[in-house]
Amino acid sequence: MGRRIDLSGAEIRADPGDGSPPIFLPRQPAASPLLALDIGGTLIKLVYTASCGAEAELRFAKFERRRLDDCFDFVRAQGLLGCNGTTTGPSKENMTLKATGGGSYKFGDDFRQKLGVSLDKLDEMDSVVSGANFLLQNVPGAAFTHMSGKRNSIDISPDNLFPYLLVNIGSGVSILKVTGNRKFERVTGTHIGGGTMFGLAKLLTGCKSYDEFLQLSQKGDNFVLDLVVKDICGELACQKQGLSTSTLASSFGKVITSMKKLADYKPEDLASALLSAFTYNIAQISFLVASLLGLRRVFFGGSYIRGHKSTMDNISYALDFWSESQMQASFLQHEGYLGALGALMSYGDPRDENLNLEESQEENSHEAAGPTDVTSADEHNDSNIFPYLLVNIGSGVSMIEVIGKGKFERIIGSHLGGGTILGLARLLTGCSSYEEFLDLSRRGDNLAVDLTVGDIYGERGYPKIGLPASTTAASFGKVNSGKLSEYKAEDLAAALLNSFTYNIGQIAYFVANLSGLKRIFFRGAYVCGHEKTMDKISRSLKYWSKGEVQTTFLCHEGFLGTLGAFWSYENMGIDGLASHEVIREVLLGAPYTGQFPSSPLTPEQENGGNVNAEVEVERLRRDNAVLKSELERLQRENAELKAKLVKSDEAATL
């Protein structure tokens, strides 16, 4: 058995805000170095011991996975192929390095051929949790909050640490419930993570590195591309309804009505919109999962945080908003090295043996079963349809719990809706309509740009936690080039549709689960009448709920449900949603309020706003005419459907 690391007295002596400073180990004797690696989907992270006078310290380094040879050169140059505590004899061929992450399986032969060492493969989730617990239990000041640009260290007693939620943001996102040392459960994850942000950033801004993307986002204004409530309602209507004019309604939603092309937007503004869109989404999913598990302490880690102030501020603000200040986002120093730290801690630990990827496989853990509560068509009547979740997909997304006729409440919303899909589609593919985008997506292959579990772990996938190789790990995570011309518009469209429809389905499932609802209805211009969109959302709900949630789409005021029942907005209890006043309050997909900069006053507003008011009134008149026309169309379709039903009944009688 190799030597163990003495962690007692560990401390960070440098400014904790300076990236990943060394961790001093005053009781660890200076000796041959120890090295551990975390080889992920896009990055290779290294943690190693080094002599610092009579003491030792932990040092940190990282490389892009595509630059594997640079990593090999670094290991040789730093003299990290010493004893490592794991040789079984004098021969170099018997030397092993502790490693975790999917790349430890894919690149084991490369390490053997280039460095002459074997990789002792450790489970990734085990390592991440061990690394987090090491920091929280042994390194003072390793945990901190970051809100409104201000960083505050937090001290947590080891006796009061568990349970907590750990949100690890890598190429994708894994969410784990940690209940003790080596005691945890991966409860869920999302394919919209750091790899998605970076992949889209390469395509939209041409940035070469994630750090460059973060620097761009600092200089940009997301409101150049993002749709806010004022853009939908107008300032006068917002004032009347008491809505904040700067409430975010739809990320990239302004692109839909703009005549601009991708080249007309500043890279800084595109980067800012990407960062806010996806950090808010990660925070929202984290809030929903923590609520379902009854947890109030949430730690965020992973290589895509990187101590970036805006990233941490966005996550902190969103979590505080959704939880009504009942949850607080906490971050970890060295957050990108949790897996490598955990692997390093395993030196000399007899409990850590070479991992068999197949061990502890959860049978069918991610296979969706059929619905467990099948209700016949004639049982759907006014009394038992309630309660249900109504998901309205417009430019943004609103989720409303309906408990009876005229009794409904908006529970939550999302800024990643139809406006986001079409906005990004226009920038990436140049399509001019949602129908054209859907047509492109039908002919595309999302796997040309999406990173799968198999791309990270190999053809076996990650069966220990039930993830087959075909599972999407990170949407757009396979994008390596910033040249749009190198990718087919059809493939980009397919990846966009997959990414956001599955995200909407996941959030809808969590919200329904949290509210104890088993039935979800979807409506909205970006869903109904579009077969592929409905199919993707249905698949998402079936996957996440394992078939326990019934999904139905409202394509008209009167419609045939999935099991043949005829419903109307009236007997569903939502005819009141047609009210102009109520629709502004309830159906806006606008989750965030109060923290965005106000728009500067125009000269007309400064002079009393008379001109602006006249323009606003005229705009509202035009909008009213459009709404009236749409209502008439729906009424005609409703009449046609009812006529068809009557004919069907007459035919059945004959």
271-278 average pLDDT score: 98
User: 572 lies in a domain?
Assistant: no
pLDDT digits (tens, 9 = 90+) for 29-84: 877 789 999 998 888 999 999 988 878 999 999 998 889 999 999 999 999 986 55
- Kindly report the average pLDDT of the chain as a whole number: 82
User: 620 lies in a domain?
Assistant: no
Instruction: Output phi, psi for 529, to 5 deg.
Output: 85, -5
DSSP secondary structure code for residue 79 in this structure = T
pTM for the whole structure? 0.83
- Residue 484: pLDDT above 70? yes
- Residue 552: pLDDT above 80? yes
Which residues 6+ apart lie within 8 Å of 428 measured at CB? 203, 204, 262, 484, 489, 492, 493, 496
Instruction: Output phi, psi for 205, to 5 deg.
Output: -115, -15
Q: What share of the chain is helix, strand, coil (3-state, %, to 5)?
A: 45, 20, 35
The helix/strand/coil state of 167 is strand
Instruction: Output phi, psi for 99, to 5 deg.
Output: -145, 150
User: 484 lies in a domain?
Assistant: no
Instruction: Output phi, psi for 326, to 5 deg.
Output: -90, -15
Full residue range of the structural domain in which residue 38 is found: 1-81+95-122
Q: Which two tokens stand for residue 147?
A: 């809100």
- Total structural domains within the chain: 1
162 closest CA partner among 142, 183, 145, 141: 183
Supply the CATH number for residue 13's domain.
Answer: 3.30.420
DSSP secondary structure code for residue 597 in this structure = P
Distance CA 375, CA 378 (A): 8
pLDDT for 616 equals 54
- Residue 516: pLDDT above 70? yes
201 closest CA partner among 482, 484, 499, 500: 482
Lowest mean pLDDT among 125-129, 155-159, 432-436, 600-604: 600-604
User: 418 lies in a domain?
Assistant: no
Please, what is the Cα angle at 318 between 314 and 320, to 5 degrees?
A: 120
User: 4 lies in a domain?
Assistant: yes
pLDDT for 404 equals 87
User: 67 lies in a domain?
Assistant: yes
pLDDT for 638 equals 66
- Residue 532: pLDDT above 70? yes
User: 6 lies in a domain?
Assistant: yes
Distance CA 530, CA 377 (A): 24
User: 452 lies in a domain?
Assistant: no
AA identity, residue 239: Q
Distance CA 285, CA 544 (A): 13
- On whether the CB atoms of residues 520 and 541 are closer than 8 A, the answer is yes
Rg (CA), the chain: 27
- Sign, CA dihedral 53-56-58-60, equals positive
pLDDT for 627 equals 60
> What would the DSSP string read from start to end of 448-492?
GTPEEHHHHH-TT-BGGGTB-TTSEEETTTT---S-GGGS-HHHH
How many CB atoms are located within 10 Å of the residue 105 CB? 19
E-strand ranges in 334-406 read 388-393, 397-404
Which band of pLDDT confidence, cut at 50, 70 and 90, is reported for residue 159?
Answer: confident
- Residue 202: pLDDT above 50? yes
Q: Which two tokens stand for residue 394?
A: 């417009």
339-343 average pLDDT score: 97
